[in-house]
Amino acid sequence: MFESAELGHKLDKATFKKHEKKLRAELLDAQYDVLQLKKFPVLILVNGVDGAGKGETVNLLNEWMDPRHVITHAFGEPTDEELERPFMWRFWRALPPAGKVGIMFGNWYTDPIVLRATKQITLEELDARLAAVNRFEELLAQSGALVLKFWFHLSKDAQKQRLKDLEKDKDTRWRVTGADWKHFKMYDRFRKVDEHVLRRTSTGHAPWLVVEGSDERYRSVTVAQTLVDGMRKRLKAEEHGYKARINAAPLPHKTDNRDILHSLKLDQALTKKEFDKELEKWQGRLALLSRHPKLASRSVVAVFEGQDAAGKGGAIRRVTQALDARRYHVIPIAAPTDEERAQPYLWRFWRHIPRNGMFTIFDRSWYGRVLVERVEGFCSESDWMRAYTEINDFEDQLVQSGDVVCKFWLAISQEEQLRRFKEREATDFKRFKITQEDWRNRKKWPDYERAVCDMIDRTSTERAPWTLVEANNKYHARIKVLRTFCKALEDAIG
């Protein structure tokens, strides 16, 4: 894998000078085209061997491009705000928006590599992490990002020489630390892990580009040229209507009349009197559970979805009534802001992932992608088809980092919806006015049903299962939500 990067690649000064002028102009030009088009971000990952010129190259890119539209991030130790979220949260918050160039040092590869080289994780654990990395990079690529991954390599001899050279010069001596020599002693072990990582994560949409790091001129020209070519190729594709896409087989239509929604008995009995008693009981229990010390180091994410007028708002209020207002946020999902539109779809949900001890309740959620956006055609088939995987990965990360995830689908019948719409129209309380859009959505009932069934089939996982709530009777629905919520917290407390 590193063979070609140990040949002693070199450029003489004259050749470099010739390249430099042309490359700088081309690079700036491509950068401005990306900026003007504002349709995709360029994400550059910088990894590799110590002393192979990673920092120098990034500085050079910043010098050759317009630094006002380059965002460079070096990830060192995570902050406490980052430590309380899933591992990937810190990278999500640093993603460049469409039009900008983001450069990431010490990115999501650093941790797995170091952990494996120092034998803190097994090969299988490493592979599991790399599989997650691949899915994440696929998400980025599919949502439009141009992802370029540069690996700076040095042979063992070259690295030794380089560290010695740096130490000899009094101006650069400070750059060689004890950790560098420690890592050098582990060169062979690192190399083995590096090779494995590069092999596992060199994918069609985000291949590794290995660059020999010993000669500054060669290194600079290679990286800049690759970057120019990458941007140009993509800009050209955009001219011809480029779309990242997975061509998936269509989901099967149902051929009999059975589906998960129709298997529900939507009318469940519960009188107002029974409800009042149950409400007090379950809210009391939830109040106590939510204050359990064990939950101080975890967070809770709840999702409420359902047809229009299914009673999401009412159910959410019965939950929040039991919680301390200092510890929950309800996030109503409406149209994305322009900052959100310049990012991958899930970005606007990642930003609300809570710190430990907090409850975040989503009133509608990332499932909009496979529900309203699918049915109304707001996104392409390939967008919502891959959303199932992206969503499962997202929730998996939440669960893995210790979050409790509860997902509720509130199901009502078409008749019950009609009754509620009419009831709302009859009340003069303006807030519940039914809009034309509600009536329009209603006409697509079968399409929505199909989307809901697919959603449940594909995203009800053992780690983050859906709870289907029969909601023709509001009392029953609210109690079932509270009961399920309590059960989830009890399981989490153990």
Q: Is the dihedral of CA 176, 180, 181, 184 positive or negative?
A: negative
H/E stretch holding 44: strand 42-48
Gyration radius (Cα) of the chain, Å: 27
Interhelix angle 216-239/54-64, nearest 10 degrees: 50
Q: Which is nearer to a second copy, 61 or 375 (CB)?
A: 61
Closest C-alpha to 482, from 279, 271, 273:
279
Min. distance of Cβ 332 from a second copy in angstroms?
4
Yes or no: say if 225 and 15 are a contact pair by the CB < 8 Å rule: no
Q: Compute the least distance from the CB of residue 265 to a second copy, in Å.
A: 30
Q: How far is the CB of 38 from a second copy (least distance, A)?
A: 11
- Rounded to the nearest whole angstrom, what is the least distance from the CB of residue 431 to a second copy in the complex? 5
State how far the Cα of 38 lies from the Cα of 35, in Å rounded to an integer.
5
Which residues are CB-neighbours of 382 under 8 A, at least 6 positions away? Answer: 142, 243, 244, 245, 246, 247, 248
Give whichever of 29 and 125 is closer to a second copy, judged by the CB atom: 29
**Residue number with CB closer to a second copy (10 or 355):** 355
Residue among 103 and 385 whose Cβ is closer to a second copy: 103
Neighbours of 368 (CB within 10 A): 19
Q: How far is the CB of 193 from a second copy (least distance, A)?
A: 24
**Which of residues 36 and 400 has its CB atom nearest to a second copy in the complex?**
36
Q: Which is nearer to a second copy, 323 or 375 (CB)?
A: 323
Q: Which is nearer to a second copy, 72 or 472 (CB)?
A: 72
Q: Alpha-carbon distance 71 to 331, whole Å?
A: 29
Tell me the residue length of the chain.
Answer: 494
For a second copy, the closer CB: 16 or 445: 16
Strand, coil or helix: what is 90? helix
Least distance CB 223 / a second copy (angstroms): 13
Least distance from C-beta 293 to a second copy, angstroms? 10
> What is the SS3 assignment for 212?
strand
Minimum distance from CB of 305 to a second copy (Å)? 14
Q: Is 287 left (phi over 0), alpha (psi -120 to 50) or beta?
A: alpha
Instruction: Provide the minimum distance between the beta carbon of 257 and a second copy in the complex, in angstroms, as a whole number.
Output: 37
Which CB sits closer to a second copy, 19 or 327?
327
Nearer to a second copy, 328 or 448 (CB): 328
CA dist., res. 146 & res. 33, Å (int) = 14
For a second copy, the closer CB: 58 or 488 = 58
Binding footprint of a second copy on the chain (CB under 8 A): 28-29, 32, 55, 58-59, 61-63, 66-74, 79-81, 103, 105, 174, 291, 313, 316-317, 320-321, 324-332, 337-339, 363, 430-431
Write out the two tokens for 96: 């460049």
Tell me which amino acid residue 373 is.
Answer: E
Cβ proximity to a second copy: between 1 and 28 the closer is 28
Least Å from the CB of residue 393 to a second copy: 26
> Which residues are within 8 A (CB) of 162 and not within 5 positions of it... i.e. 6 or more apart?
51, 52, 154, 213, 214
Name the minimum Å distance from CB 74 to a second copy. 4
CB of 415 to a second copy, least distance (A): 27
H or E element at residue 317: helix 312-320
Give percent helix, percent strand, percent coil of the chain, each to the nearest 5: 55, 10, 30
Cβ-based burial of 183 (10 A; exposed 0-12, middle 13-18, buried ≥19) = buried
Axis-axis angle for helices 110-117, 123-142 (nearest 10):
170
Q: Do the strands 404-411 and 300-306 form a parallel or antiparallel pair, or are they unpaired?
A: parallel
Separation CA 376–CA 411 (nearest Å): 20
The structure tokens 């990012």 sit at: 343
3-class DSSP state for residue 300? Answer: strand
